[in-house]
Structure 1
Amino acid sequence: MSLTGGIGKATCQALADHGCSIAVHYNSAADGVKSLVTDLQAKGVKAEAFQADLSKYDEVRSLHERVVNTLGEPSILFNNAGIARPSGTKAIEDVSIEEFENTWRINTGSTYLLTQLCLPPMEKRGWGRIIFDSSIAGFTGGVVGPHYASSKSALHGLVHWLANTYGSRGITVNAVAPALIQDTIMLPKGSDEMAKRSYYIGIPVGRLGTPDEIAETVLWMVKTGYVNNKVIGVDGGLYAY
């Protein structure tokens, strides 16, 4: 399952190229998802789109049920959904408890629930891949705010517990932690000025990352069964974790 934004779209395409059937989740981007599903089906794989508001747990359960009824039990789960508003918070009072809880519900709670629903059939089969889309904010605190940073760092603890518990049962659990990826919600198209300044804002490789580079990292985690219990920062060398 994946979203239709930059990283989600690129990951759907990479997994389809690997021969995977794809369940594409979206909330409001109906037009974009139709085009994506058509492109995925043209690769010769099964692909369907499923709408759900991941701030509502009942819709998360419904999403899972519809995916299973249409495509079968997922063997790969890419937990990619997330929100990051308000961005650039400078003081803790800028984030209400309501916004804090809503961010955690989407970034962490619904991610946990989908994992809880998808994991038991993986265990029965003796094979599965669970991958979380985190952020360098989970390592460093980042610049978005306490709601976002804490929701992402919580995923890291979840990775470690799940990986230790289920690794011997054929299920690997990892996370990718991107930073400064162009053509995403965080850095939409038109971020040319930031791209030019990427060297000066501390990225050793001197440029922004691309959604395809995150997708390739996810694909590596899917293909490599000896990669488990890892949170991999993909940030152009910005941090040495």
Structure 2
Amino acid sequence: MNSLTGKVALITGCTGGIGKATARSLARLGCSIAIHYNSASHELVTALCEELRAFGVKAEAFQADLSDYDGARKLHREVVEKMGNPDVLFNNAGIMGKFLGLEGSIYDITPELFERTWRTNTGTHFLLTQLCLPHMEEKKFGRIIFNSSVAAGTGGGVGPHYASSKSAMHGLLHWIAARYAKDGITCNAVAPALIEGTNMLSDNHAIDTLKHRIPVGRLGRAEEIAAVVELFVTNAYLTNKIIVADGGMVPSAF
């Protein structure tokens, strides 16, 4: 599949590094982009819309708080009203919550923070997937991608709230992929390590410590993750998979 002309992709967290890189990648293939954002500036959102439209595709921006289920419902409703039903859903938005580090204490994570992290990273994306599936079933075409993390398989350095919210995606995608493959719908995940420009970590010392564990010796680039998402979108035979893009931190898929 070398063209996505006429398809609509909803990318949550589209104004972040991975979201923007993926939007550019899919727009180059002719896919119209529904840009989700929460707190990005008007100038940034407007500039991204204009950049994507230069590829000759439609691009519209939609604000929604995905820490709330009503925010997910609002986002889906507004995208459908303005652009039509999404054919591609990249569940990319997320929060880190509190950064514990490798020597942190589990007692610093309250149940409220744990639940909010899960709801933002996984719960509302489950709901968005649920809302997008009927159209995909009807059209016999759909691409659902989750942005997970290497932390889902290793525990990572952020904390149990973040790692477990990401690993929850894996069970979810495995069930969806097996259930809907016969309907022309694929479901996969990319699991990055630290990626430049994502603003997930502001502690330079913590970044240097974690970067030390990456065999290639550097952080990943947003475009490298977007390339994996593009592969998932354009390959109809690739489903039920988690591609770990981590610079060689783990030797095989988890």
TM-score bucket of the superposed structures, by smaller chain: over 0.9
**Residue identity in the other structure for 2:70:** D
Taking the aligned partners of 1:149 and 1:59, their CA distance within structure 2 comes to: 23
Equivalent residue, structure 2, for 1:85? 97
Tell me the CA shift for residue 206 of structure 1.
2.4
Provide the rounded CA distance (Å) in 2 between the counterparts of 1:150 and 1:220: 26
Gaps of 5+ in 1: none
Aligned to 2:217: 206
TM-score (norm 2): 0.89
SS at structure 2 position matched to 1:49 = strand
Equivalent in 212, 218, 228 of residue 239 of structure 2: 228
Alpha-carbon spacing, 1:146–1:236, altered in 2? closer, same or farther (3 Å): same
Match of 1:98 in 2: 112
Provide the C-alpha distance between the structure 1 equivalents of 2:23 and 2:147, rounded to a whole number of angstroms.
14
Q: How many residues align?
A: 238
Q: Secondary structure at the match of 2:114?
A: helix
**Structure 2 residue 60 is the aligned partner of structure 1 residue 48:** yes
Distance in 1 separating the partners of 2:115 and 2:201: 24
- Give me the whole-angstrom Cα distance separating, in 1, the residues matched to 2:241 and 2:231: 12
Is the CA contact 1:14–1:219 (under 8 Å) kept in the aligned structure 2? yes
Work out the CA distance in 1 between the residues paired with 2:131 and 2:166.
20
- Give the corresponding residue for 1:135: 149
Q: CA RMSD in A?
A: 1.9
Does residue 108 of the first structure (1) align with residue 119 of the second (2)?
A: no
* C-alpha distance after superposition, 1:181-234 (max 9, x if no partner): 11112256x969957994xx1322222210000001000110111110001100
Contact map agreement 1:195 1:207 (CA 8 A) in 2: no
Q: Normalized against structure 1, the TM-score is what? A: 0.94
Find the counterpart in structure 2 of residue 179 from structure 1: 193
Within 5 Å, which residues of 2 pair with 1:137-156? 137-156=151-170
Do the aligned partners of residues 10 and 229 (structure 1) sit closer, same or farther apart at CA in structure 2, a change above 3 Å counting?
same
| Percent of paired sites with the same residue | 57
d(CA) in 1 for partners of 2:165, 2:209: 30
| Equivalent position of 1:158 in the other structure | 172
Among 74, 79, 101, the alignment partner of 2:86 is: 74
Post-superposition CA distance 1:78-123 (Å, at most 9, x none):
0001000201251111011110111011001101000000011101
Give, as a single letter, the amino acid of the residue that structure 2 aligns with 1:106. Answer: T
Partner of 2:75: 63
